[in-house]
């Protein structure tokens, strides 16, 4: 009787360029921004704008930003996703654990193919987006359903959301408490989630409600009063209205109100990446310093043992 695993956990993150160069960033952005779940403009209108204006303008600028946060082993998102999968493998010795990306490499569909070729009979897909959105998790679900239709003999289950999962909430809260124990507590804790267009939320996307649920659960686990914390949204793109309040302007207002030290955490991101390291840790800190305040960024859970244990438990809780 073989002891080889027949169940796999595939942790799927957003994706990243392979190198911090304009050509690599262009390839990555072309795939990312061509997903109709991300940009819902009809392709006949969007593609000329994307290839004629956006990619030529953004690729070089984004490459410079990636270069500022690049690790010796590669992109932070790729490095921490890989390490997180390895940490979960330690938690799940009877499973096979792999990581994949929705955009870029290791590609989601290729990872599913590889697991099937290795004899996996059941694959639990874990989108590394704690809060469900049609712009993120649903895109992974689309690809998984396409693959499942071609591979009916393999049972594939996708975890939709873990915004209020008690073990994940406890892990985030503990990471904040540990930071405060080492560095002291600031005047306000600000949750910064990645934004989405307001029209997407108006159309029924539950993402803002899921972000609010996460923030409230984490704040409750920390024993915070409502006046101790705030929820904001970052990474707005384009001119249309996105979820509000916008993170950076709100931080400016808090600084100008007299709060000298602001602590910022980004629990919508499983791993640190360009948006948390370059936009928040570097960018927000710089602009707040110019306003006479100090901002401290509390890192994502990344490959911490508490994160790996929480997500491994979440995966094993799925009914076979």
Token representation of residue 99: 């990581």
Q: Does residue 2 register a pLDDT over 60? A: no
Between CA 279 and CA 164 the distance in angstroms is: 26
Q: What is the assigned CATH class of domain 166-298?
A: alpha beta
Separation CA 292–CA 295 (nearest Å): 10
CA 121 to mean position of chain CA atoms: 28
Q: Does the annotation list 194 as a binding residue?
A: yes
Distance of alpha carbon 213 from alpha carbon 267, whole angstroms: 11
**CA–CA dist 106, 98 (Å, integer):** 10
Q: What is the pLDDT, as a whole number, of residue 283?
A: 97
How far, in Å, CA of 12 to CA of 156, rounded? 14
Boundaries of every domain in the chain? 7-162+305-316, 166-298
Which two three-digit tokens encode residue 52? 């004629």
Summarised one tens digit per residue, pLDDT across range 43-97 is 999 999 999 999 999 999 999 999 999 999 999 999 999 999 999 999 999 999 9
φ, ψ dihedrals at 317, nearest 5°: -75, -10
Pairing between β-strand 155-158 and β-strand 122-127 as defined by DSSP bridges: parallel
Computed over every residue of the chain, the mean pLDDT equals 97
* Assigned CATH class of 7-162+305-316: alpha beta
Task: State how far the Cα of 148 lies from the Cα of 319, in Å rounded to an integer.
Answer: 18
Asked, colleague to colleague, whether 7-162+305-316 and 166-298 share their fold, the answer is yes
What phi and psi, each to the nearest 5 degrees, are found at residue 306? -65, -40
pTM of the model: 0.96
Paired strand residues for 233: 193, 246
Q: How confident is the model at residue 213 (pLDDT cuts 50, 70, 90)?
A: very high
Report how far residue 102's alpha carbon sits from residue 303's, in angstroms, rounded to the nearest whole number.
19
Residue 237: its pLDDT value, please?
Answer: 86
Q: Return the structure tokens found at 202.
A: 């108006």
Per the CB < 8 A criterion, the answer to whether 136 and 169 are in contact is: no
Q: Please tell me the distance from the alpha carbon of residue 59 to that of residue 24, in angstroms, as a whole number.
A: 8
């Amino acid at each position: 009787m073989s002891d080889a695993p027949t169940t796999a956990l595939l942790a799927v993150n957003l994706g990243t360029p392979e190198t911090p160069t304009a050509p690599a960033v262009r390839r990555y952005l072309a795939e990312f921004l061509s997903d109709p779940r991300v940009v819902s403009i009809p392709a006949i209108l969007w593609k000329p704008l994307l290839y004629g204006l956006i990619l030529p303008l953004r690729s070089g600028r984004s490459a410079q930003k990636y270069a500022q946060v690049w690790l010796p082993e590669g992109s932070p998102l790729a490095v921490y996703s890989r390490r997180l999968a390895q940490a979960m493998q330690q938690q799940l010795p009877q499973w096979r654990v792999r990581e994949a990306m929705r955009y870029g490499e290791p590609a989601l569909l290729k990872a599913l193919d590889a697991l099937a070729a290795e004899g996996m009979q059941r694959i639990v897909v874990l989108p590394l987006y704690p809060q469900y959105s049609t712009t993120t998790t649903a895109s992974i679900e689309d690809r998984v359903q396409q693959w499942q239709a071609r591979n009916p003999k393999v049972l594939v289950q996708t975890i939709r959301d873990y915004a209020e999962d008690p073990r994940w909430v406890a892990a985030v809260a503990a990471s904040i408490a540990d930071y405060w124990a080492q560095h002291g507590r600031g005047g306000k804790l600000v949750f910064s989630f990645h934004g989405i267009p307001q029209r997407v939320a108006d159309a029924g996307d539950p993402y803002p409600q899921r972000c609010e649920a996460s923030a409230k659960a984490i704040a409750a686990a920390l024993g915070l009063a409502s006046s101790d914390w705030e929820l904001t949204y970052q990474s707005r793109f384009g001119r249309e209205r996105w979820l509000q309040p916008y993170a950076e302007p709100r931080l400016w207002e808090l600084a100008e109100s007299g709060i000298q030290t602001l602590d910022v955490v980004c629990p919508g991101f499983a791993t640190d990446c360009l948006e948390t390291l370059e936009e928040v840790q570097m960018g927000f800190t710089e602009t707040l310093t110019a306003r006479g305040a100090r901002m401290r960024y509390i890192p994502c859970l990344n490959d911490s043992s508490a994160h790996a244990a929480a997500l491994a438990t979440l995966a094993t809780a799925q009914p076979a």
